[in-house]
Amino acid sequence: MSSFVLYNYFRSSTSFRARVVMHLKGLAFEYKAINLLKDEQHSAEYLKLNPLGGIPTLIHDGKVIPDSMAIIEYLEEIHPSPSIMPKDAFLRARVRQVCEIVNASMHPYGNLKVTKYLGQAHGYTQEQKDQWVQKWVIQGLEALEKTLPEFAGKYCFSDQVTMADVVLYPQIITCQRFHVDLSKYPTVMKVFGNLDQHPAFIKAHFSRQIDTPEDLRQP
Ligand SMILES: N[C@@H](CCC(=O)N[C@@H](CS)C(=O)NCC(=O)O)C(=O)O
């Protein structure tokens, strides 16, 4: 039987991507918590696994796979059922495009190392950090709202949970944390609301992990 170890952190959106795909595919894993607030991602031991000091990292039967997109693509390849990609090549390309909007044009701006730097080097307050994140993620949200109506059903691509949903859902939680006004994105928020009810997304949610602090826990 193969073994999976996932280095992750309850609140990290990229960790969520890996966790939810493990749950969607029914794969058990050992949860290794890396506390970003204690800078454990930059320990010499962890940097050997993930040279950029980012989470998550997956270890599968001793093989190291850093980076959430590499992890979820890998899981899809080794456990293709249930699939998180459409059968049609054009739709698969568009799923990847949606992932790219989030991964390249939204996620990096709210990353801890970025907002921490803004505070340390430029004296940004929390309110100024919120404004910084809002400025950039709104461009991504607008692109998503232009893209999704053509494809969305219950989820981003009809009624099948795909990689696009896996990447979108935790990014919306990050947007909420930075007080982004999400009322202007009805398709995005309809999909988010549906994913919020999905058992795998409920299980992978930041409020239900072994390293979730008591005050952020939900049943
Ligand atoms: N492209 C990487 C990004 C990984 C990443 O930066 N993750 C964040 C958490 S969401 C992190 O580890 N941040 C640590 C830091 O900012 O020091 C991935 O998708 O795995």
CA–CA separation, 4 vs 111, rounded Å?
Answer: 26
CB under 6 Å to ligand 1: residues?
12-14, 36, 41, 53-56, 67-69, 111-113
CA–CA separation, 119 vs 130, rounded Å?
Answer: 12
Q: SS3 for 15?
A: helix
Q: Is residue 96 domain-shared with residue 195, that is, in the same domain?
A: yes
Q: Is the pLDDT of residue 1 over 80?
A: no
Average pLDDT score over residue span 123-147:
98
User: Tell me, what's the pLDDT at 88?
Assistant: 98
Percent composition of the chain: helix, strand, coil (DSSP 3-state, to 5): 60, 10, 30
- Percentage of the chain surpassing pLDDT 90? 99
Q: Is residue 55 domain-shared with residue 99, that is, in the same domain?
A: no
59 φ, ψ (degrees, to nearest 5): -115, 120
Nearest alpha carbon, ligand 1 atom 2: 67
Q: Is residue 13 domain-shared with residue 93, that is, in the same domain?
A: no
Q: Measured from the CA of 13, which atom of ligand 1 is nearest?
A: 10
Q: Is residue 64 domain-shared with residue 133, that is, in the same domain?
A: no
Total structural domains in the chain?
Answer: 2
CATH classification of the domain holding 112: 1.20.1050.10
Q: What is the DSSP string of 121-152?
A: HH---HHHHHHHHHHHHHHHHHHHHHHGGGTB
Average pLDDT score over residue span 107-123:
97
Q: Which domain holds residue 107?
A: 89-202
Average pLDDT score over residue span 98-110:
97
Query: 163-210: per-residue pLDDT in tens?
Result: 999 999 999 999 999 999 999 999 999 999 999 999 999 999 999 999
